[in-house]
Structure 1
Amino acid sequence: MSKIKSFDLSNVKLSQLVIHKVGNKTQEEPIELSEFEIELENFTPLYKSVMDYFLRSFKPGPMYHFAVPEGKQAISENEMFNAADALFVNPFEQFMVRSREMSELLYEASTHPRIKGGELFVAYLKDCVVDGDLVDAIGLFKAEHKELFLQVGDKTDVGNFELQQNEGVSVKKLDKGCLIFQTEQEKGFKVMLKDSPTKSVEALYWKETFLQLKPREDNYFHTQNYMELTKGFVEEIFNEEHAVEKPAQIDLLNRSVKFFSEKEDFNVVDFENNVIEEPEVIEAFQEYKVDFQEKKEVPIFDEFKVSKEAVKKSKKEFKSLIKLDKKITITVSGNEQNIEKGFDTERNMNYYMVYFNEEE
């Protein structure tokens, strides 16, 4: 396969497309399976709108693999993996059969009462660039929400225009989606999800019950885990319960983000010596790391390439704010040694004293 960009979906071509309707099984909503594919003429306005709707939400970020189902022994026992594998082997002959199979698996997974039914678009895509490789992909895109829109018709015989209200899928927002790439088949294929900021039942059923995915252990995975580890250490250990004031906590978080933002390669000794610094704090961090790995059941690597995409996403969780009485906020971006905390016995209140050279 030819090496191009790391990740690029701008030249993806739609090879095959079908729509099935998948309801909520618990609510006794039906599943309606199509008999035929949809024919879309290439590069028409409709084709471009559909492709933009499918792919706009996918940006460089975390990747997944199909997982061995709980209680099973092999990846071949994951039904979604098997359906994708068979489709990749012969897309023209297997497309309708496997797309219907995938829809039935989604229907079986749609059992929580809050899961909405909707249209499932199954697409076969060509010319996806993933980690520099040009590969095919299977796209699964679910539309759950409908929007009302007004449609103005032709001018009538009496001289006015017809006006109708219709309901349809908005191409501005994809509810749920995934791309299954034809690479790393032996590990469970590379899979990318449309990012969901919530951990609600509606979001997790798609990832965990229907697709049965596990994180791909790559640089994004390692970077994200280490930043989560650092944030957890500050919140649970390096805190006021252990005589660490809020400014010092924020300073450690800020220096951690700066380290990951500036470094191309992560090395744990470099991180501990330049970010954590104090020997007793380093020792506490190392002990916390062991507990973190056991509780989260994730491997923590001591060396890896830093993923800038993971840093960009994870640092949003690193708060540099001191919130006081829910009405006053102090932002600490550095020089935490210039902030002192005290207690005023006359007012019976805490206070912060800030030292500075210039006011801007």
Structure 2
Amino acid sequence: MIQLYDAHIQECIVHWVGNKTNDEGMRLSKEPLTMNEVTMKALSNYFYKPFVAKEYFYSFYHQTNIDLNTMYSYIKEIFTDNNSFCEVSSDIARFLYEQSIHPRIRGGELYVAYINNCLIDGKYTEAIGLFKSESKDTFLMLHQNDVGFEISSESGVSINKVDKGCLIFNIEKENGYIVAVVDNTNKGAEAKYWTDDFLHVCPRKDSFNQTQNMLSLCKSFVSQLPGENGKVEKATYMNRSVEALKEESVNINTFAERVFETPKLVSEFKQ
């Protein structure tokens, strides 16, 4: 579980990353943002809010050697040497640009933040946040004059929802760190570029993910049962699976027998 009540943004830099296929290019910053207390609070809310209830985590991975994962190497470099933050953030932006080749990927600001005092699973640690804003809202601006008000509009980023983001916690480095991911914009094939192509992460092997995987397996198996297994009976199987997964440890044989009972279904499920 993530708790960010005491988290503090040590520094944050912003780059603009376009669509490579459309030849939109990039605009890279040389210096971090300068923020007052009000701006810092607004930016913190923008960054932290999507991750407060996160329980499903990922890790960087590579088929042969984790050090060959590009983003893992960049993140490890920043955690090892904070002075490399600005330089490596530009490398991260360039790498994101190389992955932004689907024609439906929109350009936007990429925020790279170094965050202190993050609490995850009862441990305080630092994190690196990557956030991309692709959607823009229109804001009405009212200005008072001698006779009333004047109104104008400006386009900007709403702090109520991150389009894409991730928090990489400086824990379990040897296993690819602990990574929390959000993507609130793309749901089709183009969505994979953030999680798969850019970050190149896979679900973390922890109890929460294993429980979710087992529930998904049960749901898939039950949905394929023939018609004589009615809706009530199928619902009973799913309810039993939820109860069985509440145990401190789960044995696949005992689990199958407890949920499905009949030898035929138990054998089919185990297969």
Same fold (TM over 0.5): yes
Q: TM-score of the superposition, structure 1-length normalised? A: 0.71
C-alpha contact (below 8 Å) 1:66/1:188 kept by paired residues:
yes
Return closer, same or farther for 1:171/1:163 CA change in 2, 3 Å cut-off: same
Residue matched to 2:73: 82
Residue 250 of structure 1 is matched in structure 2 by 235
CA contact 1:7–1:131 (8 Å) conserved in 2: yes
Q: Which amino acid aligns with 1:251?
A: T
Tell me how far apart the structure 2 counterparts of residues 131 and 195 of structure 1 sit (CA, whole Å): 23
Matched residue SS, 1:94:
helix
TM, length-normalised to structure 2: 0.93
Q: Indicate the residue corresponding to 2:23 in structure 1.
A: 28
Contact 1:196 1:203 (8 Å CA) reproduced:
no
Query: What's 1:348 paired with?
Result: none
Q: In the superposition, relative to structure 1, how do residues 197 and 47 fare at CA in structure 2: closer, same or farther (>3 Å)?
A: closer
How big is the shift at 1:216?
1.1
The aligned runs of 1:113-262 (5 Å cut-off) are 113-156=103-146, 159-194=147-182, 196=184, 199-236=187-224, 238-240=225-227, 243-260=228-245, 262=246
Name the CA distance, whole Å, in 1 between partners of 2:257 and 2:145.
75
Structure 1 gap ranges (5+): 1-5, 288-360
Aligned residues: 270
**Structure 2: distance between partners of 1:256 and 1:267:** 12
The alpha carbon displacement at 1:127 in A equals 0.7
> RMSD value over aligned CA atoms?
1.8
Residue 103 (structure 1) aligns with? 93
- Aligned mates of 2:201, 2:249 — CA distance in 1: 28
CA deviations on 1:147-195 (whole Å, 9 max, x unpaired) are 1111012325xx2322111100001111000011111111111111025
8 Å CA contact 2:54–2:180 kept in 1: the answer is no
Aligned-residue identity in percent = 36
Distance 1:89 1:21 in 2: 25
Decide which of 37, 42, 46 is 1:49's aligned counterpart. Answer: 42
Counterpart Cα distance in 2 of 1:200 and 1:61: 23
AA of the residue aligned to 1:151? M
SS in 2 for 1:266: coil
Larger radius of gyration: 1
Gaps of 5+ in 2: none
Q: Distance in 2 between matches of 1:222 and 1:196?
A: 24
Name which structure has the greater RCO, CA cutoff 8 Å, separation 6+.
2
